[in-house]
């Protein structure tokens, strides 16, 4: 039996620079191309989508990304993998919904109905259906609206329920956020322009058509195929972590794709897309400033090929969320932050020589010009980011 093809750490970094559109020669012309290159952009923090896209676009400021999100709607936000908010291209959205988001929506509905039943006010599935219809009617009548504006227009959304009645964690909460979250998870409304700048998460909502039906197994296979192309070589464990699917579903999806097996330098066996075992040449030297939760930082359960484990303690928060990172040729070499006066500051955790430092300095200046007057505070703050802004 012939030996399995070997893919080195250097080769994996070459793939990351080219396929994740981070090397300048690989930069994309359209925001949807950026999203497809990494399958999905993290969107829990509003600024992350913009900063992740910025690092991969050939040109264009925040307005280019706003146009993709709110005018062309070539990019949409979905509550999906790992019950996390992502932004994906509209071409991929039906597959993300069928493979993952639909399951999230069903779970959200069961949870809300359970809370309504336990509250004891007689609120049930019929009441919830009427509240959802009234919310959609309000959007059709009044146009895009924030959660507060919808609550003002729809009396049902002003109801309050008690969650965990009689328990230590008993709390009274409004239903508006939960109903709106459920409608969004179901694909019946989507996030539109926020109130404020591109860094704001106070979205307006618009009524939209549900995604086209795709069989769940077919959708999972398509997601696995795209993910392997962007993140391979990777392991079954990596895909299970990234998607949040059951191991059974991951294995069925991979079986449908039919990946090739390769060997990594540490002896680990990994998977790549069918036929994707050949060498990928190194791109030109590149530096990047990526935001917290960027896909290139979060794409694998095991990130040891691009992250020194000694740096985890300062780059991650207590819950395992990675903060803003500085990259050089496919390796995380530091972290960055923006101070209150707008200055972009960073610290290198690894010395990669004068050429690297000069390129990183130039990239910091480019980021500062792109951000302009906007102020960015990551939702998940890490020790290094806090220290840099102190």
Q: What is the pLDDT of residues 333-349, one digit of tens each?
A: 999 999 999 999 999 99
3-state secondary structure at position 156: helix
* C-alpha closest to that of 356 among 288, 308, 287: 287
Q: Across residues 2-12, what is the average pLDDT? A: 93
Confidence of residue 1 (pLDDT cuts 50, 70, 90): very low
Q: How far apart are CA 109 and CA 181, in angstroms?
A: 10
Q: Convert the pLDDT of each residue in 201-259 to its tens digit.
A: 999 999 999 999 999 999 999 999 999 999 999 999 999 999 999 999 999 999 999 99
Confidence of residue 66 (pLDDT cuts 50, 70, 90): very high
Q: What is the pLDDT of residues 146-197, one digit of tens each?
A: 999 999 999 999 999 988 777 777 788 889 999 999 999 999 999 999 998 9
Q: 174: which strand partners?
A: 160
Give the CB-side neighbour count of residue 92, counting CA atoms within 13 A: 29
In this predicted model, what pLDDT tens digit does every residue of 257-303 receive, in sequence order?
999 999 999 999 999 999 999 999 999 999 999 999 999 999 999 99
If DSSP codes are grouped into helix, strand and coil, which group holds residue 289? Answer: strand
> E-assigned strands of 119-170?
160-163
Backbone angles phi, psi at 348, to 5 degrees: -85, 135
> Cα separations (Å) of 231 from 94, 106, 300, 329, 383?
21, 29, 8, 16, 28
Sequence spans of domains, the chain:
287-389
Alpha helices in 21-101 (DSSP H): 31-37, 46-54, 62-70, 93-96
N- to C-terminal Cα separation, the chain: 58
Instruction: State both tokens at 175.
Output: 């239903």
Cβ partners under 8 Å of residue 173, min gap 6 = 160, 161, 162, 163
317 token code pair: 């928060």
Q: Is 200 within 8 Å of 375 (Cβ atoms)?
A: no
Cα distances (angstroms) measured from residue 70 to each of 32, 143, 204:
13, 14, 11
Torsional sign, CA 94, 96, 98, 103: negative
């Amino acid at each position: 039996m012939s030996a399995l093809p070997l893919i080195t750490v250097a080769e994996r970094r070459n793939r990351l620079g080219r396929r994740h559109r981070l090397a300048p020669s690989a930069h994309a012309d359209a925001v949807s191309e950026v999203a497809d290159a990494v399958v999905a952009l993290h969107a829990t923090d509003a600024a992350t989508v913009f900063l992740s896209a910025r690092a991969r676009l050939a040109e264009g400021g925040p307005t280019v990304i706003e146009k993709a999100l709110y005018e062309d709607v070539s990019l949409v936000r979905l509550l999906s993998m790992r019950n996390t908010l992502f932004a994906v291209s509209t071409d991929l959205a039906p597959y993300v919904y069928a493979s993952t988001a639909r399951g999230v929506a069903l779970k959200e509905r069961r949870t809300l109905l359970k809370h309504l039943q336990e509250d004891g006010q007689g609120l049930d599935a019929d009441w919830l259906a009427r509240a959802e219809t009234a919310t959609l009617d309000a959007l059709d009548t009044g146009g895009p609206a924030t959660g507060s504006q919808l609550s003002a227009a729809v009396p049902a959304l002003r109801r309050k329920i008690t969650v965990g009645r009689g328990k230590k964690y008993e709390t009274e909460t409004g239903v508006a956020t939960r109903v709106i979250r459920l409608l969004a998870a179901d694909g019946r409304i989507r996030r539109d322009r926020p109130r404020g700048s591109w860094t704001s998460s106070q979205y307006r909502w618009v009524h939209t058509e549900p995604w086209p039906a795709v069989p769940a197994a077919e959708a999972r296979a398509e997601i696995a195929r795209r993910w392997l192309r962007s993140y391979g070589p990777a392991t079954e464990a990596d895909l299970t972590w990234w998607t949040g699917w059951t191991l059974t579903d991951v294995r069925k999806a991979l079986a449908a794709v039919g990946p090739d097996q390769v060997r990594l330098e540490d002896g680990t066996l990994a998977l790549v897309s069918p036929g994707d075992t050949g060498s990928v040449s190194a791109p030109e030297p590149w530096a990047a400033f990526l935001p917290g939760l960027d896909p290139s930082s979060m794409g694998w359960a095991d990130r040891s090929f691009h992250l020194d484990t000694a740096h985890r303690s300062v780059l991650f928060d207590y819950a395992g969320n990675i903060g803003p990172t500085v990259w050089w040729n496919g390796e995380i070499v530091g972290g960055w932050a923006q101070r209150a006066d707008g200055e972009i500051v960073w610290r290198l955790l690894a010395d990669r020589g004068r050429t690297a430092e000069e390129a990183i300095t130039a990239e910091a200046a480019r980021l500062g010009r792109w951000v302009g007057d906007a102020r960015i505070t990551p939702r998940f703050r890490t020790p290094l980011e806090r220290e840099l802004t102190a």
